[in-house]
Amino acid sequence: MSRQRVVLSVLVLVLLCGAAAAAEPALPNVVVLATGGTIAGAAGSDVQAGYASGQVGVEQLLAAVPQAKNLAVLRGEQISNIGSQDMNDEVWLELARRVNELVAMPDVAGVVITHGTDTIEETAYFLNLVVKSKKPVVLTASMRPSTALSADGPLNFYNAVAVAANRDAAGRGVLVVINDWIHGASSLTKTSTTAVQTFLSPLSGLVGTVAYGEVEFYRGPVGRNTVDSEFSLDGVTTLPRVDIIMAYENVDGALIDAAVAAGAKGLVIAGVGNGNMTQEAVKALAAQAKKGIVCVRSSRVVTGRVGRNVELDDDALGFVASLGLNPQKSRVLLRLALTKTKDLKQIQRYFDEY
């Protein structure tokens, strides 16, 4: 072959390779932050009910779902390895800090967080209020440990990566992907102690669905979030204490007063019905409100709104109504609210907008 022909052939080869590379866009970079939970849990046998959360490290999690490498370039970091019943402020602040760092990196397309199901709705909602990016931040979990028959973790993880790698996931707030459904952080709640189909978004519905990596979005999440949120952790090293008190038949004010004595700056009542409680509890709560403790009425009922001034005169009693937020999410919002203000009108506005 003449020298000219060799040069020509090499040129054609280079052009062909370039065209092939151009046809196949590079996979997005997704970082996996592991916090523990049943998705990282292990039991002694595949049919054992008892198991320990947070046994499997992030590298093992990634290795267990090699198919996810077809969706994104993955790398993992271990933030904690705890059952989410042990989730705490230290892990929250570290997790939020790291997520904010990662989403600020130009080469990171999205973040997946593995978590336990017990408090995933609280962590998701917390991040929804303090992450400052439109990039996808997707939490996932499982109800069955990695060693169980029909473990649900691997497919949940695969689907979470698919959502985090999907461009249309951007700008929808922090999402939770579990059992083929995509939930908004403000809407989802755990409804069954053991069933795989435990998470629902009962009041406002799903953001989308994802089946074997096929993502479909229906709408955005409800409420202000991420880049539109007024809340930030800049300069925040501790969060104020807020306790949840449940209402029930014959409840009195003892636990309300005890919570304040323990240092609560805010209280959320998981009320009966539309955020109700006995007259005695109302009296104790109103007395605390008068002293400057911010008191929010939510409901122990799994769905429905708690309206302002419906059966109780919130204006006169100095209470805030949780509107669409359940008690555990009301607590998250109130803690962040108290880092900014104690003004009841402003806090009621937060509940209206977030």
Our CB check for ligand ASP shows the closer of 199 and 350 to be: 199
Residue choice 28, 76, 83, 275 for contact with ligand ASP (CB under 6 A) = 83
Total residues at interface with ligand ASP (CB under 6 A):
11
Residue choice 85, 88, 197, 346 for contact with ligand ASP (CB under 6 A) = 85
Beta bridge partners of 244: 268
With a CB cutoff of 8 Å and minimum separation 6, the contacts of 15 are none
Structure tokens at 39: 């998705």
Structure tokens at 169: 């996931």
Closest-CA residue to 136 (of 117, 116, 108, 114): 108
The three state secondary structure string of 175-231 is EEEECCEEEECCCCEECCCCCCCCEECCCCCCCEEEECCEEEECCCCCCCCHHHCCC
Our CB check for ligand ASP shows the closer of 91 and 344 to be: 91
C-alpha span between 58 and 45 (Å, rounded): 21
- Check if 38 is active-site: yes
Closest-CA residue to 333 (of 311, 312, 352): 352
Site string for ligand ASP, 14-43 (x = CB under 6 A): -----------------------xx-----
Our CB check for ligand ASP shows the closer of 76 and 116 to be: 116
272: left (phi over 0), alpha (psi -120 to 50) or beta: beta
Please give the residue whose beta carbon sits closest to ligand ASP in the complex: 116
In angstroms, what is the minimal distance from the CB of 75 to ligand ASP?
Answer: 23
Our CB check for ligand ASP shows the closer of 83 and 318 to be: 83
C-alpha span between 198 and 278 (Å, rounded): 31
In angstroms, what is the minimal distance from the CB of 201 to ligand ASP?
Answer: 18
Site string for ligand ASP, 106-125 (x = CB under 6 A): ----------xxx-------
Structure tokens at 310: 């419906």
Q: Of 35, 38, 119, 123, which is the active-site residue? A: 38
Our CB check for ligand ASP shows the closer of 278 and 328 to be: 328
C-alpha span between 48 and 42 (Å, rounded): 10
Closest-CA residue to 272 (of 235, 308, 239, 300): 300
In angstroms, what is the minimal distance from the CB of 40 to ligand ASP?
Answer: 8
Site string for ligand ASP, 247-286 (x = CB under 6 A): ----------------------------------------
Site string for ligand ASP, 135-154 (x = CB under 6 A): ------x-x-----------
Beta bridge partners of 320: 296
Q: Is 332 in the site for ligand ASP (CB under 6 A)?
A: no
Cite the active site residues.
38
Interface residues toward ligand ASP, by CB under 6 A: 37-38, 53, 83-85, 116-118, 141, 143
